[in-house]
Amino acid sequence: MNELSIRCGLVILALALPAPAGASASSALKRYESGKYESALREYKRLLLEKTDDPRLHFNAGAAAFQVNDFDEALKQLNSALVTQDLQLQQRAYYNLGNTEYRQGEESKAPDKKQADWQQAIGNYESALKLNPNDGDAKFNLALVKKKLEELQKQQQQQKQQQSKDDQKDQSKQDQQSKQDKDQQQKQEQNQSEQQKQQQEQKQEQKQKGQKPEDNQAQQKPESKPEPSKEENKQGEANKANGENKPENGEDQQAQAGKAVMARMTPKEAQQLLDAQKANEKAMIFIPKLRTNRADRVFKDW
């Protein structure tokens, strides 16, 4: 027994019922058996217009809907077939409900919807086995769907774990990026704080300098000149006096210049300069004034 028992384990009941005009249970069954499932479904629905509460017509209509993959219609008709006192028909309705829900879940792309359909299929197979524990197809299909469901749940668990790891990685990256941004922001704030502190210190220093200008002036006061010596004072007074007298000849100017040079010399150097000048002086002839009225008087040379 293989998966084909799920797909083809449907039971069609031949009905010997009076059929409405243009439709009959036997013709619907023939169409079904020849593979004309859509035509068979339409005919079973026409029969249900007269026999709305007939569970056998609902069962066969559900089987035809299953074959054309109209699972919603199949579930509707098969659930209506459960309302019967015939336990064999009821057991086969549970079995076909299990097949329909399995196929519906198999075609669903949503994992949650697939899991819900397969869980319902398991419940219907179990109900069929309660009514007929010897139903080999129901046992096989129950084991198969349980295995499929376990694989699906395992796969979903792995996906959740992988998603959790991915989320943790993403969160770790976000935390790391957030930490880097925070560190960078703190560094910028620290740099700004240091700059502001330096600016405040500079302003405070400038303010202190502005409050005590005499300190700055004292620091910037030029060095005082040394006091002149006594010889320089005397020479200065002499130069002043000579400046007032304004010598008119070159000799006086030369003498004045010599005195000025002497004023800048030490006493010893000045004395040496005077001695040198005396040595270079020429002897001058003294001519006394005439004291007589005689013009012819002769005087001797001295």
Q: pTM for the complete prediction?
A: 0.55
Q: How many domains, in total, are found in the chain? A: 1
CA proximity to 237, closest of 266, 216, 259, 208: 259
- Residue 42 reports pLDDT greater than 60: yes
Mean pLDDT, the chain, rounded, equals: 78
The answer to whether residue 182 is domain-embedded is no
Q: Which of 3-7, 52-56, 237-241 has the highest mean pLDDT?
A: 52-56
> Does residue 218 register a pLDDT over 90?
no
Whether residue 94 is contained in a domain is answered as: yes
Residue at 67 is within a domain? yes
What is the per-residue pLDDT for 233?
60
Judge whether 76 lies within some domain: yes
281 band by pLDDT with thresholds 50, 70 and 90: low
Q: Are 90 and 62 in contact (CB under 8 A)?
A: no
| Residue bearing the bigger pLDDT, 266 or 33 | 33
- 153 has pLDDT over 70: yes
What does each C-alpha distance from 234 to 228, 240, 251, 299 come to in angstroms? 10, 10, 21, 46
What is the domain range of residue 36? 4-158
Q: Is residue 241 one of the residues assigned to a domain?
A: no
Could you tell me what percent of the chain has a pLDDT over 70? Answer: 65
- CATH assignment of the domain containing 55: 1.25.40.10
Rounded Cα distance, 235 and 227, in Å: 14
For residue 285, pLDDT over 90 is answered with no
Read off the pLDDT band of 20 (50, 70, 90): very low
Cα angle for residues 237, 240, 246 (degrees, 5° grid): 140
